[in-house]
């Protein structure tokens, strides 16, 4: 395919939103899917407990968009990792390990899943502040390890996380997705998702199943 001004091919670390973002960006060696409330966080916690999580099983109504983004990333041929605020540093270390294994410069697409405005596939994508911050946390952690050739889009997400890190608990509970979960008496789940680097496990998608990298 011809290069596009929107595919961020000049940069090692790229950032976009949703399934369309996966398709819009230049093909990446690694795609990190970020769906903080709830897909990335719940699967990471399950994998940390020693469980394997089938992608099809994870694609219930609460996670339909995150799962669809992960499937689109897998279809692109990339290594698919799940990232969140809870495991941002661990994801960055996993990416560096992959680069060392490949013995080549490795391109990374950090995809914020966003939320669907409706519960059906194909509904309009809604901006989700928690996914912006989660993507920024991962870009920031990559930069700490020297993987810092970032697109402007990735750099903006990174600076959003850096500038707002002290307010994460408030931002996640006050944002639309958090408010929706608070209305379901799931405040503890939202606060759990806001805990930066509380998890050291990184889910990787292999043959339709998420397991520890």
Confidence at residue 19, expressed as pLDDT on a 0 to 100 scale: 94
Confidence at residue 52, expressed as pLDDT on a 0 to 100 scale: 93
- % of the chain beyond a pLDDT of 70: 92
- In the chain, where the domains are located: 13-212
Residues of the chain with pLDDT under 50: 61
Confidence at residue 120, expressed as pLDDT on a 0 to 100 scale: 57
Look-up of token digits 């992608």: 55
Nearest to 175 by CA among 167, 153, 20: 167
Q: Two tokens at 57? A: 């099983």
Confidence at residue 61, expressed as pLDDT on a 0 to 100 scale: 44
Q: Are 62 and 189 in contact (CB under 8 A)?
A: no
Look-up of token digits 């997705």: 177
- The CATH topology of domain 13-212 is putative 2-phosphosulfolactate phosphatase (3.90.1560)
Nearest to 135 by CA among 21, 17, 44, 23: 17
Which pTM was predicted?
0.95
Confidence at residue 62, expressed as pLDDT on a 0 to 100 scale: 53
**Alpha helix locations (H) across 17-151?**
18-24, 39-48, 55-58, 64-75, 88-102, 129-144
Helix (H) or strand (E) holding 205: strand 203-206
pLDDT in tens, 77-98: 999 999 999 999 999 999 999 9
Provide the CB-side half-sphere exposure for 111 (13 A, CA): 37
Report the 10 Å Cβ neighbour count for 88.
28
3-state secondary structure of 112: strand
């Amino acid at each position: 395919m011809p290069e596009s001004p929107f595919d961020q091919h000049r940069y090692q670390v790229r950032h976009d939103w949703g399934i369309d973002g996966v398709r819009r960006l230049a093909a990446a060696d690694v795609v990190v899917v970020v769906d903080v409330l709830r897909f990335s966080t719940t699967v990471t916690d399950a994998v940390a407990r020693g469980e394997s999580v089938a992608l099809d099983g994870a694609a219930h109504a609460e996670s339909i968009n995150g799962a669809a983004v992960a499937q689109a990333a897998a279809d692109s041929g990339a290594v698919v990792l799940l990232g969140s605020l809870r495991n941002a540093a661990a994801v960055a270390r996993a990416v560096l390990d992959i680069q060392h294994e490949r013995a080549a410069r490795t391109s990374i697409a950090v995809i914020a899943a966003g939320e669907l405005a409706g519960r059906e596939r194909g509904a309009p994508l809604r901006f989700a502040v928690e996914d912006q911050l989660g993507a920024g946390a991962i870009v920031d952690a990559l930069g700490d390890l020297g993987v810092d050739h970032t697109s402007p889009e990735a750099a903006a997400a990174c600076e959003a996380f850096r500038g707002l890190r002290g307010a994460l608990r408030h931002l996640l509970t006050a944002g639309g997705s958090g408010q929706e979960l608070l209305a379901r008496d799931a405040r503890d789940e939202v606060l759990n998702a806001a805990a930066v680097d509380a998890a050291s496990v990184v889910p990787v998608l292999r043959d339709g199943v998420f397991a520890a990298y």
